[in-house]
Amino acid sequence: MIYTIEIERIELRARHGCYDVEQTVGGDFTVDVRMEVEGEVEGDDVGRTVNYVEVFEAVKEQMAIPSRTIEHAAWRIRQAVMGLSPRILSVDVVLAKLAPPMGGKARSVSVTIRK
């Protein structure tokens, strides 16, 4: 059986951005992860699914590495999550930078990496 696991609005502070000040001071971000998973859902064995804590830790580790673009950070997150389990068939990552420095007011700017 194929099913979907979603982790929504992981909130983190990170140092992603093209401006030097963003690399130094950092900013607030959210990350959504959507995984298509192959496995059994009838049983109650946590070993037969994806560990949400491992996914969260993978996101946190990748967000701790500064990037000039959020596209690159989102791609790294996707790669890290895909490597956690052979049960994971695909991963979508939405990485949003909150209150981006664009010279005007915007709640966020985001990128979605799909595969």
Is-contact 98 30, C-beta < 8 A? yes
Q: What span, in angstroms and rounded, lies between the C-alpha atoms of 67 and 15? A: 7
The residues spanned by each domain of the chain are 2-113
pLDDT at 102 exceeding the cut of 90 = no
Is-contact 60 97, C-beta < 8 A? no
- Identify the pLDDT of residue 46: 77
- Identify the pLDDT of residue 35: 97
Q: Which residues contact 16 (CB under 8 A, 6 or more apart)?
A: 22, 23, 27, 29, 63, 66, 67, 68, 69, 70, 73, 97
pLDDT at 36 exceeding the cut of 90 = yes
The verdict on domain 2-113 having CATH code 3.30.1130.10 is yes
Q: Which residue did the predictor score with more confidence, 109 or 39?
A: 109
pLDDT tens-place string over residues 39-97? 887 878 777 789 999 999 999 999 999 999 999 999 999 999 999 999 999 999 999 99
H/E segment holding residue 12: strand 2-14
- Identify the pLDDT of residue 45: 78
**What is the Cβ-side half-sphere exposure of residue 7, based on CA atoms within 13 angstroms?**
22
When pLDDT is averaged across residues 17-30 and rounded to a whole number, the result is 89
